[in-house]
Structures are given as structure tokens and as C-alpha cells.
Amino acid sequence: MKYYITTPIFYPNSSPHIGTAYTTVAADALARYHRLLGDEVYFLTGTDENAQKIVRTAEAHNIDPKVYVDGVVKRFKELWEALDISNDDFIRTTEERHQKVVQQIFTKLYEQGDIYKSEYSGWYCTPCETFWMENKLLEGKCPNADCGREVELLKEESYFFRLSKYQDTLLKFINEHPEFIQPSSRRNEMLRFIEGGLEDLCVSRTTFQWGIKVPFDPHHVVYVWLDALINYISALGYPDGEKYKRYWPADVHIMGKDIVRFHAVIWPIILLALDIPLPKVIYGHGWYLTKEGGKISKSRGNVQDSFELIQRYGSDAIRYFLLREMQVGSDGTYSEDNVVERLNSDLANDFGNFVSRSLAMVVKYRGGIVPRPGQDGAQEQELKELSHEIKNAVEKSLDAFDPARALEEIWRFVARCNKYVDETAPWSLAKHEEQRERLDTVLYTFVECIRVMAVLTAPFMPGLPSRICKSLGVDEGFIRWEEADQWGILEPGMQVQKGEPLFPRIDISQYMTVGETKIVNQSQNIDQNINQTQAQKETIEAEPTPALEFEPIKAEISMDEFAKLDLRVAKILSAEKVAKTDKLMKLEVEVAGVVRTVVSGIAKHYAPEDLVNQYVVLVANLKPAKLRGIMSQGMILAASQGDVLEVLMVNKDLPGGARVK
């Protein structure tokens, strides 16, 4: 089947920002999903360059408009490449292939009486590229909720397009095709707008000459919305191009909610007038807002540099955050704090840790060779049934243009995989030879879980499958959607390797957000204010001292003195050995919803993968100390005698943060 998906064409009046990126990432995820299904996909994006705001921006920079937009368009293309966007085409409205189609359509509409010449007098908002009647203005300014800027009175000879002629036809179509405008909140909004009456649309300008000339009246240039919307068919070679014949009508136009009106009213009426089939779906997503509730936009000056974010966290991580946070019909909230919290929780702790420790155990217990599994138990059967359920749920969500819901479903599977590790406890099975076959089954299930996770996340994080496949020792041909809920795909005897962490944890204490400004957390200098005694440092760093007999019990203390200790249950989120030392282990632990870093002298006694997701006892109110350049915020309890050491662990039914009394 064919699948044609588009983003809007973006204004290149400044570099793209994180709000712009969401639309394109969402479209890309859907395009990649349909390619995995085997569909013949055509994915279009581009830039809208024939606008008065482009001229004014270029003039402000004292540069020719074409030279200016060429530079900005280059930044758009670079960002899409950095975000792994897989578009098949990039249309620019300054291209000859587009201009020819616009002039052809303008002439046809004029000749059949749908465009006529008259004089226009009205209030024009340049940033919104919109004319307003005086009674629509709010305190004399643009009534657009996201604008509110000054408007200018324009009076000029113009050509008009008869929107009003097709009002009833469009209403009938929308009512007969409830899926045409999505989500339903946007559909209801458009119905109310159309029912309020449509005015004919001004479709040419004479006050500036940057744009596509009206072919039979070159004193006029085509007004931006008639010009811009035609890109969806001009890119396909309308009317005779093979791509147009193959891919039109579009399966979905995706855009922000602020331009749904142009796509759900003006564009369908243009197509109705030309007797061209309408697109199947107009989908308007929400905006990304700041914590203070304002839309992220260039005009507000609160944009986040997308290139900086990608460099800091990686393309897959940023794609995941954008897609996961935007719920259908709602706005998303953006802050760098939110990014870090989401990436640490979902990607580093849940996904990354499962892959890392699972492969590490295959390496540790079977030399990296994938073992042949034995008989499935109830837990393995549950995982297989769940993968089928999740695959169906993901497909249903993406068919409804809901990547956030799809990712929520996938993370249900990720959570179950992590629970499977804890339930099967391969570190315990490895201690008993009679459990060898059971351990083989568990280890094989680990690698199959990793493969399933790689397939399910492929549309959303396209850089991830290749990294996982490298660790599994297979090529990306193993990423087949139809096998996302099938098991036994990987052959026993394959060689796997642990590799580098897929998503290293980000130290959230390094950055705080005040408004839209990132500042360094002053806790970096906390060591200057610590009055930690040398004796406490030595206690943390020292290994258990061998002794021929038990150490004597220390002098008695009162209950008041004991009460000064705050002992808490803590969940170990991640563990890694400290570089250039064989004693110290760096742990990330969660206590009552707060993540801490703890350095402990247990590296000789525990492998990192044996500690993750274990629950330990933490001295929570011990003053922090810097060990090997790492700030340690507490101490975990362990029992030791001679060369033997064992960390004190508690039942998982107690939550992290529970008080130890």
C-alpha cells in the first residue's frame, strides 16, 4: 500500500526550534512505522519562503531575501539530518517546479470564475500572514491568541478566492467524514468556524514583489496561503506526474493546531474547486509550552536551540522526549529539567539498564554465547503473550496518530522485562549446577526481549536498533515488524557483547532551569562547605579489614544518639566501577523519589549488574564527601568479616525511602 505523509512547510525566517522539531519527528515516526509494515511511503517536508515576513527579516539583516532564506533552509536540512528525519523530498516554494504549478492553478481558478479581482481594505498581521476585519481585532491588535501584535491597515487592488461558494459543500464533507479532521477537538473547532460564515479570501498582493507572479497580471504576487498549500501536490508533479498519480490523496497532513484552520478550510476548498480528491486526514497537534505556560516560538524569544540539545543528549533521546510528552489533543510542557528526568527514568534506568545487565549476564555466565533455551515457564509464556498485546496496542495507537500512547505501551513491556530479571534472579541460578537449563532459558529470553524492544522502538528512535544489533552480533535485517511478537528468532550459539551503555545517566544536579535560562547548580561546589572528618572518609573508602577475631563492641550510646541516624531503604538504579580503582563502586540510588549518588567500597565483592534494582539500607543523613572526584551522598550498610563482605538487602515490597528502625 502507498502512504503519503506531510509536515507543513516551515517559515525560514530564523533557525528551527524544538517546537518545530516535534511536528517533523512525529511525521518521521509514522513514516518509519509504515515502512516497517511494508508500505510504499512518501514523506514530504519543506519551507514556505514567499512571505512578507521573509522580506522584512531579510531587510533587517541587510541581505537579499533569497540569500537569506538559503542560509536558514540549510539549517533546517541540517537539523532534520541531526534528528534522523527520513523525508523523501524537501520542497521549497522558491523552486521552479512549485511556481509553475501555483501559476497553473491560479489561472485555472480565475478562468472558471473562482478567483476575481476587487479592492481590499483590511487590517493585516505580517507575522500571522492574515487579514482581519476591524471588528475581529482585540484592542486594535491581532486577535490570534499566540500573537497580539500590531496590525497595519492595507488598501490595495487584490484578487479574491470564492471560499463562500464552497462553504456548504465543505461542511457536508466534514460531517460525512468524521475522521477528516483530528483530533475531535480540532474538528469541532473547525465546524464552529465554518458555520459562522466564510468570507472570500484575498489571494494576491501588490505592496511587495517577493513571491510568485500572477501569470496574467504580474503586478500581483500570489498571497502566501494559496501559494503555500499547493506544495503538497506541486512536490508530486501535479497534474501529470507519476508521483502525483501514485501518492495523492495524502494519507495525513500533520501540523500544529495554530494552522489547522488554513489546512481544514482553505486547502480543502481549493481542492474542491479543482475537483481534486481531499486528503484523508488533517491532524493538528498541540504546542510545546514552557513551564510558565507560554508557547515556545521564535517571536516570544523563548526557543531552545535544538542542535545544542541533540549534542548534549543525542538524537534518539530528544526524539523520545518530544514524542512521549505530547498527549493527543493537549499541549506538552518543555523544560530541560523535564528532559533530563524523562531520559534518566525511562531510557537510562528502564531500557538501558535492562539491556546492559542482561547482556552482561550472558557474557558473565555463558561467555557471551547465547545458550539454547529449555522449556518455557509461566513467566516466559507471559512475556510472549504480552509482546503480542503490546504490538497490537502500538499499531492501534499509531493508526490513531498517537505516538505518546504507543511509547507508553512499549514501556509496559520494558517494565515487565525488568521485573522478569528480578523474578528469575539469574545470579542465584548460576550458583546451582542443577539450574543450568533454567538459567539458559532465562538468558536466552533476555536477548529475545532485547530484540523485541529494538523492533518496537525502531520508528521512534531510529539510531537505537543498529546499536542493539551490534551488541547482539546481527545486522539490522533482524528489525522486522512482523516479528515483534514472535519468539525464537535469534539462533543459540550467537556471540553477544555488552558494549557501551545505550543511555548513560545524566547528572540532573548539574543543571537547573530558571525560566528559560540554564545555570550551573551551586551544589558542584558543595565540597567547599563540608566539614567531613578524615576518619569518616577512611571508613567509606576502606575495604573490610581482615581480622582473626571479631572486633570488640563499641561503647554504649543513648537512644537519643542512635536516633540521630536516619536509615532508609534505597533502590539501586545503576552501578558502575569507579575508574582507576578496584575498590569503589559508584551507585545511583532512589530514596523517597530523590536520586542520589553514593560511592561504596564494594567493587571487589559485587558485579554492577548484580546490584541494579536491589534494595539496600542507606545512612541517609551522613554528610556528603567527595571520593575520587565524585560527591557521595550517603553510605550503604554492609556486613564484613575478613575477606567476606555482604551488602544488607531488604525485601522489595518495602518502597525506596521506607524508614529502617
Could you write out the DSSP letters of every residue in 472-522? HT--GGG--GGGTT----SPTT-B----S-SSPPP-GGGEEEETTEEEE-G
- Indicate the CATH number for domain 335-483: 1.10.730.10
Do 189 and 264 contact (CB within 8 A), yes or no? no
Name the residue among 6, 8, 4 with its Cα closest to residue 41: 4
Q: Quote the cell numbers at residue 582.
A: 578496584
Q: In the prediction, which pLDDT does 167 show?
A: 96
pLDDT at residue 302, rounded to an integer? 43
- pLDDT at residue number 208: 78
What grid cell was written down for 195?
A: 458555520
For residue 172, the SS3 value is: helix
**Cross-strand pairs, 284:** 255
Q: What are residue 152's DSSP bridge partners? A: 124
Cell digits for 559? Answer: 537512644
Chain centroid offset of residue 254 CA: 16
**What's the topology of domain 1-94+286-332?**
Rossmann fold (3.40.50)
The pTM for the full model equals 0.75
The Cα 493–Cα 371 span in angstroms is 6
Residue pair 179/281 in contact (Cβ under 8 Å)? The answer is yes
Residue 443 pLDDT: 97
Q: Within the chain, which residue ranges are assigned CATH 2.40.50.140?
A: 528-660
Question: The cell 543498529 sits on which residue?
Answer: 466
> What's the confidence (pLDDT) of residue 50?
86
- Long-range pairs for 397-403: beta carbons < 8 A, 24 or more residues apart: 398/29, 398/30, 398/33, 398/459, 400/328, 401/26, 401/30, 401/182, 401/252, 401/254, 401/281, 401/283, 401/328, 402/328, 403/26, 403/29, 403/30, 403/323, 403/324, 403/326, 403/460
CB 326 within 8 A of CB 286: yes
Counting runs of H as helices and runs of E as strands, what totals does the chain give? 23, 26
Separation CA 513–CA 519 (nearest Å): 7
Cell of 171: 461542511
The reported pLDDT for the residue numbered 536 is 33
SS (H, E, C) 521-566: CHHHHHHHHCCCCHHHHHHHHCCCCCCCCCCCCCCCCCHHHHCCCC
Q: How far apart are CA 325 and CA 237, in angstroms?
A: 36
Low-confidence stretches of the chain (pLDDT beneath 70): 129, 131, 133, 135, 145-146, 289-305, 508-552, 560, 593, 641-643, 651-654
Dihedral over alpha carbons 167, 170, 172, 177 (to 10 degrees): -160
SS3 assignment for 244-267: HHHHCCCCEEEEEHHHHHHHHHHH
According to the 3-state scheme, what is the secondary structure of 45-56? EEECCCCHHHHH
Q: Where in the chain is the domain with CATH 1.10.730.10?
A: 335-483
C-alpha cell read off for 581? 580503582
Q: Cell 470564492, residue?
A: 162
The answer to whether residues 462 and 84 touch, using CB atoms and an 8 Å cutoff, is: yes
57 touches 129 (CB < 8 A) = no
Contact 21, 303 (CB under 8 A): no
User: Rounded to an integer, what distance in angstroms lies between the CA atom of residue 439 and that of residue 160?
Assistant: 75
Phi first, then psi: what are they for 508, rounded to 5°? Answer: -65, -20
Give the long-range contacts of residues 430-434, CB within 8 A, separation 24 or more: 430/365
Closest among 450, 504, 452, 464 to 316, alpha carbons compared: 464
Tell me if residue 209 falls in helix, strand or coil. Answer: coil
Assess contact for 478 and 499: CB atoms under 8 A.
Answer: no
Widest pairwise Cα distance in the chain: 105
Domain range 528-660, its CATH number among 3.20.20.120, 3.90.700.10, 3.40.50.620, 2.40.50.140: 2.40.50.140
